[in-house]
Amino acid sequence: MLIIGLNFIGNVRKGENLSKNLVIVESPTKARTLQRFLGKEYIVEASVGHINNLESGYGAKYTGPVAGVDKDFEPIWGLEKGAVTRINNLTKLAKDCETIYLAADPDREGEGIAYHVANALIEKKQPKEKFKRVVFHEITEKAVMEAFENAGQLNMDLVDAHIGRRLVDRLVGFSLSGLTSSLLRLKRLSVGRVQSVAVSIIKDKEDEINAFIPKEYWNINGEFSMNNIQYSAKLHEIDGVSGKDLVISNSDEASKAQNELESLKYKVNSVKSSTRKTKPRPPLTTSSLQQDASSRLRLSPSRTMSLSQQLFQGINLGSGEEGLITYMRTDSTALSSESLNEIGNFIQNSYGDDYFAQRKYKTTSANAQEAHEAIRPTSINRTPESIKSFLDDDQYKLYDLIWKRTVSSQMSESENKKTTIITISSDEKYKFKSDYDELVFDGFKKLFPEKETEKMPNVSENDLVNLESIVKEQKFTQHPPRYSEASLIKTMEDLGVGRPSTYASILNTIKEKKYVWVINRSIYLSPIGNVLVEEIKKDFSKEFMDYKFTEKMENDLDSISNGNLKRSEFVKSFWKNFEPIKKNYEKRSEENPRNPSEYNFIRTNIICSSKSPCINSETGKEFEDNDRPLGLESLNASLEKLPRMVWIRFRNNKGDGAFLACEDRECKVTADESAWAGFGRRRSRTLEALKNSMKEKSIH
């Protein structure tokens, strides 16, 4: 292993008369931005991401347990596609340069990229002494120049943590993907150390939903009036039983209560108010950025990370590219002293002293991968509106979110006046409750305006009021909500599964592999995902499929990053425990493979009919955009007998795919799978196309 330890020689300042210096970054956009700041004394070139990957494919050497890992659990590196051309180009540029600066992103992956680039150029006879590592968390002229003045050496602990993760992920993925494909008799399934645990989390929720038994209950609401004042209230107490303990469980109980209520007189028993203050949320981290962008902006995690990468690397604001936000892969909520001062001045000048309340957030993570502070704008004075014309819609929305979360974190608490009115019956048996919330001081909510709430009626204690009406409403308890992408990310973070920087790619993988479906922002487990987790957990429930085990692995990787654990010890220890269980799994895959028809051919809840196309067998109504793909029983026996569309999974050279076809082979109706298990506009279009196809082609 090459370890580059360099002492920094001299300071670098813009405008000095030095020979050319080569600066290597990952992307062309980042290169353009840096080139503008550094000037003519520097050549800034992109490696275009990774140049090395663990060997795989037909030409890979199998000297160890899997391709890309040797018998001593050291990596066997191969070159990425196109890497030879990129290395040769960098080598030509490096020959005439005095210093080579490695300026990849400030995290484990960035350190790994820088390490491989340096190794490739040293193999091309570039001396070690020429290499320096520069690290900056925002791409602004000031931050970049400071980074070059403090150039140092590669952090081999971060490199080792990066490689350690790659090795363990390879050991799990290459060992189990093929075996699982054999066990389930499906081609080229994907099993991953973190992605399979993510599917397991979703399966746990699905099992909880399936085990849920709805219970009937009734709500009773009253409409009251006094002079020209009217207000609503919910029945809150009967004979001293109140809140969650008060359950009206059937129609007879509800009707009995209604009859009694309608015969009584009422008055205001009490009017009580209290003040509640609400603190703003901390600045954004990688995880909270993905969650907020998903819930507020309806952006997928992968789209969010792509947009934030663009904002970090640089946007042309008319005079050249400028980095608009700090590095977007971070677990920290801290803000630098300089940014705190800038934010404070902005708030006081824009909103007044009453709106300013400085807070210093501290991160609780010991993860060495984290950037030095939260995700924030590189300049608070660069308001979203001031640069809106330079951004596309999604870039603007995301920047606006980041800017508001950063500024609001240093604003005063909001203050609300909460008032509760209790209306009591003349026999004091029944009490109705009305709650009102009035914003007294908006504070940080000035940046996040809320909808106006219902105004409190002008009533006082002991006022007599008239009962206008009683409305009873049948309800059923609801199963726990399915995960959205945002709530799944929050759960993974809480459980310590994976790292926030990997969540977007994990979600993409499990969607592409058809392990889950995302419909109207809810995540549904597919039959393939269900059986995949079932089989893996039979052998690995106490290993990598256990949440605590996965959390410990992430902590071990942090320990490597901090220099407290050797990478070789980490990888060898993992394999020692993993290999015997893998052998049992291998034996089972050979002896007891499953019948793939249970998850390759799924009878859907869409009825094939030319007269009434696309009827949902569960509801008896037309299948709609927000209908779930997998339900329970048909509404009645006659609907159960009718021919259905079947979901059929296949694999071709382009990857995993699926389509819909009528289960009657004589019928030629087919459709895109998104009509049944898709989302958004595509689902609407394909569902409409399926209806038209049934009208024209269905023989039923």
CA distance 222 to 359: 45
- Beta bridge mates, 230: 225
Strand, helix or coil at 527? helix
CA distance 135 to 129: 18
What is the helix (H) or strand (E) element at residue 252, kind and residue range? helix 251-261
CA distance 74 to 171: 12
- Identify the burial level of 217 via C-beta atoms within 10 angstroms of its C-beta, where 0-12 means exposed, 13-18 middle and 19 or more buried: middle
* Residues in CB range of 64: below 8 A, 6 or more apart: 70, 71, 72, 73, 76
| 683 DSSP assignment | H
| 641 DSSP assignment | H
CA distance 362 to 197: 29
Amino acid at 449: P
Other CB atoms within 10 A of residue 77 CB: 17
Are the C-beta atoms of 176 and 585 separated by less than 8 Å? Answer: yes
SS3 annotation, 315-363: EECCCCEECCEECCCCCCCCCCHHHHHHHHHHHHHHCCHHHECCCCCCC
What is the helix (H) or strand (E) element at residue 396, kind and residue range? helix 393-408
Are the C-beta atoms of 132 and 94 separated by less than 8 Å? Answer: no
Angle at 18 between CA 17 and CA 22, to 5 degrees: 140
What backbone torsions phi and psi does residue 413 show, to the nearest 5 degrees?
A: -65, 150
Q: Are strands 100-102 and 131-133 parallel, antiparallel or unpaired?
A: parallel
CA distance 66 to 60: 9
Both tokens of residue 313? 């690397």
CA distance 175 to 191: 9
Are the C-beta atoms of 54 and 68 separated by less than 8 Å? Answer: yes
HSE-CB for 466 with a 13 A CA cutoff: 7
What is the helix (H) or strand (E) element at residue 464, kind and residue range? strand 464-476
- 547 in catalytic set: no
Angle at 180 between CA 177 and CA 186, to 5 degrees: 100
Kindly name the residue from 231, 327, 355, 599 that is annotated as catalytic.
Answer: 327
Which amino acids are annotated catalytic?
327
